[in-house]
């Protein structure tokens, strides 16, 4: 049953926060004795039969869409080969680099705040000796993870509207007395980072907390006996030992952040166009497909975004060291 609980750790999966917990069961798995020797070859295998439907779905909704998007991206509307034309078109679009800048700014703010605050709070919560207090803190941080996508954005629309907001006085004190004044374009990267942080940080805090628990007691004890204070322990023991997990969080967040779509899309509707409907790269790709009917251009942007996600993910699988590679 240990495996059951360890597998449960995968908690908290939401689109915005891929794999918050995915790592945990893996970590546990790798700390377990090596798996038993493989079955002798020659035993008739039903493996192919069992994986066939999954392989079919992997091809239909993973591999083929990717290849088809690449095909569209390097052909023109008539199907003629045009390896660079679509990329030149979309990159020549004045909105492309604006959108890329928006996304980069948002991702920068979000990932840095995750790195700093998630690690800080994980260490702090881990240091709480009172058990129920530590458990409740983790639950409170984690609960917003139940809201993802449109729900959490809607909730934040209310919070950001000084008229109705629970923090209306705070917003007014900061000089914002109307919704449009809160969501000025220059504020958006911060706003999106706050929304994404609110939804996703709790899951990561729980993951980091689990990783902290895996640091041997003797190590912490030795440091304490040597006179290290909690800050020194955090900086010189815990932080270095969390490195892989921090890298994991950064890589996944980086990949997820570049996909920014639902936040600006809803905000654009709510603001009557104050937030443009081509604020992010994914929105621009959507506009190409649905407004301009230019599927090739849309595919070109999608392929660029897909490449970013693919490269980050593949490099992490290969180099991250969190997944069992010996068996994989």
Partner 1 sequence: MSTTASSRLIGWSGRSVVGAALVGATLFFLVPLVWLLVAVTKTEHELAVRAPFAVGSWDTFKANVQQLFDFQSGAVLGWVRNSAFYAFAALVITLLISIPAGYALALTQFRFRRLLMVTTLVVMLMPNTALVLPVFLEMNQVGLVGHALAVILPFSFYPFGVYLTYIYFSTSIPRTLLAAARLDGCSEVQVFTRIALPLATPVVALVAFFSFVQNWNNYFLPFVMLPSSDSYPMQVGLSTLLSATPAFNPSSAGADSVHLPALALATVVSMLPVLLLFLFSQRFLVAGMTAGGLKE
Out of 77, 112, 116, 167, name the contact with partner 1 by CB under 8 A.
Answer: 167
- Rounded to the nearest whole angstrom, what is the least distance from the CB of residue 95 to partner 1 in the complex? 16
Interface pattern 124-153 for partner 1 (x via CB under 8 A): xx---------x-xxxxxxxxxxxxxxx--
Burial class (CB in 10 A: 0-12, 13-18, 19+), 131: exposed
Quote the CA–CA distance of 89 and 91 in Å, as a whole number.
6
Is there binding between residue 51 and partner 1 (CB under 8 A)?
yes
- Map the footprint of partner 1 across residues 266-305, applying CB under 8 A: 266, 269-272, 282, 285-286, 289, 295, 298-299, 301-303, 305
- Rounded to the nearest whole angstrom, what is the least distance from the CB of residue 80 to partner 1 in the complex? 17
- Map the footprint of partner 1 across residues 215-254, applying CB under 8 A: 217, 229-231, 251-252
The residue range among 42-50, 76-84, 95-103, 234-242 that interacts with partner 1, by the rule CB under 8 A, is 42-50
Give CA 312 to chain center in angstroms: 12
Is there binding between residue 178 and partner 1 (CB under 8 A)?
no
Q: From 45, 102, 37, 121, select the one nearest 327 (Cα to Cα).
A: 37
Out of 110, 209, 245, 279, name the contact with partner 1 by CB under 8 A.
Answer: 209
* 189 Ramachandran zone, left/alpha/beta (phi>0; psi -120 to 50): alpha
Helices (runs of H) and strands (runs of E) counted in the chain: 19, 0
- Rounded to the nearest whole angstrom, what is the least distance from the CB of residue 109 to partner 1 in the complex? 16
Out of 261, 277, 294, 321, name the contact with partner 1 by CB under 8 A.
Answer: 261
Per DSSP, 46 falls in state: -
Is there binding between residue 96 and partner 1 (CB under 8 A)?
no
- Rounded to the nearest whole angstrom, what is the least distance from the CB of residue 270 to partner 1 in the complex? 4
Listed in sequence order, the residues at least 6 apart from 90 whose beta carbon sits closer than 8 Å to its beta carbon are 96, 284, 288, 297, 300, 301
Size of interface with partner 1, in residues (CB under 8 A) = 139
Out of 115, 168, 247, 277, name the contact with partner 1 by CB under 8 A.
Answer: 168
Please provide the DSSP assignment of 54-77 as one string. Answer: HHHHHIIIIIHHHHHHHHHHTB-T
Give CA 243 to chain center in angstroms: 17
Q: From 36, 25, 19, 18, select the one nearest 210 (Cα to Cα).
A: 25
Interface pattern 54-83 for partner 1 (x via CB under 8 A): xx-xx-xxxxxxx-xx--x-----------
């Amino acid at each position: 049953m240990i495996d059951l609980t360890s597998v449960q750790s995968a908690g908290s999966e939401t689109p915005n926060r891929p794999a918050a917990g995915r790592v945990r069961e893996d970590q546990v798995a790798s700390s377990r004795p090596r798996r038993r020797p493989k079955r002798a070859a020659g035993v008739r295998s039903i493996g192919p039969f069992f994986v066939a439907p999954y392989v079919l779905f992997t091809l239909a909704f993973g591999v083929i869409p990717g290849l088809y998007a690449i095909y569209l991206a390097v052909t023109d509307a008539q199907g003629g080969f045009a390896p660079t034309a679509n990329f030149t078109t979309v990159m020549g679009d004045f909105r492309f680099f604006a959108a890329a800048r928006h996304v980069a700014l948002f991702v920068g703010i979000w990932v840095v705040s995750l790195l700093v605050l998630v690690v800080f709070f994980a260490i702090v919560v881990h240091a709480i000796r009172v058990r129920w207090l530590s458990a409740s803190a983790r639950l409170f941080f984690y609960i917003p993870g139940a809201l993802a996508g449109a729900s959490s954005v809607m909730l934040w629309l209310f919070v950001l509207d000084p008229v109705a907001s629970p923090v209306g006085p705070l917003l007014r004190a900061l000089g914002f007395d109307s919704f449009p004044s809160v969501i000025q374009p220059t504020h958006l990267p911060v706003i999106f980072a706050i929304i994404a942080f609110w939804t996703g940080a709790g899951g990561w805090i729980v993951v980091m907390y689990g990783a902290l628990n895996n640091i041997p007691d003797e190590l912490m004890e030795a440091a304490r006996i040597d006179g290290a204070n909690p800050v020194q322990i955090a900086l010189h023991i815990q932080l270095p030992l969390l490195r892989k997990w921090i890298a994991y969080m950064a890589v996944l967040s980086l990949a997820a952040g570049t996909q920014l779509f639902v936040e600006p899309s809803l905000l654009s509707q709510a603001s009557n166009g104050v937030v443009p409907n081509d604020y992010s790269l994914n929105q621009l790709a959507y506009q190409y497909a649905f407004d301009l009917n230019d599927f090739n251009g849309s595919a070109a942007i999608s392929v660029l975004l897909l490449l970013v996600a693919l490269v980050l993910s593949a490099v992490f699988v290969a180099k991250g060291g969190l997944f069992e590679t010996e068996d994989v």
